[in-house]
Structure 1
């Protein structure tokens, strides 16, 4: 067995997502399992280079996990010929410039979303990567969730017949920060810093709908700021200038309609923090992070509306749990494995910067729809 080191510059690992999901649960988990076996006698050994602005925080993480390489100088890291891949999980406003530099340096790039603050920038990144001849990928973690993988299994099996509608509910109450600390960074609620639930979540909804049901052809959205004042990490009040909730309707090629509510100002009364209900002519299903329940048309009850009598049926009990039929690993880690295989063996990979641009486009058009109060067509993107 030959071990081949792949050095990955990881920018933004002091942030919640970069640290927890990408560093600890993906790259370090790969190291704990002995590397990534490519199946041809080669094992890829990921060697992270921790990159960011706060050197003391980076060194603390490095010492905690016995890592060697730490830097606060992006240009120096990108100039290092031993660095193979650049990964970005910084705040959105800093991402586009860093990705441009990494592409110009000839590094393969893998990045969180949104890839840029606007569609023009996102498409330009995809063009630059294509012209430079590097491999590139965008994190699309939701489709690797166990619940959505089981939902896709139903789609692929033709369980639904003709899909009629998709209804999604996402969100939870993010504390304002005055009497209890907020669970999300304060920049998420400042538009000037790249915050907002539309730019954060609509790129997710684009690839979820695209992968499972088809391309989004139109969007109508209402974005709003329910909580106008919040308190930051230092306990200081600030004006929330970004949207914290958005209510969207999406037309999908083939005729299905999706409605997805996204909110950081909603208290959870559902089984999981995100749930999608799919209704079709032959059956329906409800999928969350881990679970998926289905009801076929042959087993569909016949409820009758009668407000004068209490309900005697437990509607949730009328659905059947879709079995795992497999062991599911961490979704972020699984996509990292696919991307690293793509980098080193050229295996097909379609979650690239062009796919990331589609997510940026949908968020951009949704905000325009909200501002103008109308439905907007979503054209296909191309380089």
Structure 2
């Protein structure tokens, strides 16, 4: 796997979009993406409308529907399968509640693999009689299909898993795990927060039932916005935990009209999960960032990121600093040092941004990174 000369030029042009790189070696997209100039301009345009006209809600709402279709295409989904939420946690919790789990049901997850926000929603269901059971980790700290098959049973209603581990960068075989889930009639819910925009994700290809992600990481957007995909065949089996005008079938009615509230039905789409007005600012930021990502394409971004992550993994190994994974599986590379918090602080003083996670230092890469970033980190280490 190697990035072509043409792609290298595309990535160098993309790098120019990020002003933070003028002074900082930014290796922390898994924590928060830096803002691109085009995203900043989208925010200024939105604020100018707010300042001079108050709002342009009709046009904004039409843009949201166009963006829904564009987001669906980005994920390999249909437009009706996309909802815009507050963040990853909002999407995960909404789907969990909609499944109406109860006594006798079980949820499978791997706490050591997951971000805490894909653990708390399920532990919270224990007082409703839901059993939470653990999927064991494989030798490289990932979840394998046969690890899931070993613990799944007829009580399992939900299996949830991150597409990329937020602290090691391990990347499970989602399609194969989906097959195990479906053989047992279980719903497969994916936390895509560390995957979308960085590695190739196709929800139909990988037979995922639902996927939740926030936009402030690999999607290069803003805090306060999340994307939720839900497979169409599940719509009539999922009861939204909340219902508002936004999620009800009200064709031809103004949002303030009461309508036939006695017989209101949820939309036959993932938008049934949406509550209230959209986060227009966050959505227009996403619109701009998807345009930036489209200039390179997700497959090319993945090749670029994996090439750099492999270089970093090799350089760490050569320097006697053991990385968590022997070969990079995503844009996240973590490595063990005696005092990770202290090292992160010392690197920050040198304008190198990384994070400390679970006793390791985590570097995370995206389309704007290049070989000089890797070399600078290694030289400082």
Q: TM-score, normalised by structure 2?
A: 0.31
Give the structure with the larger strand fraction: 1
Higher relative contact order (CA 8 A, sep 6+): 2
Give the structure with the larger helix fraction: 2
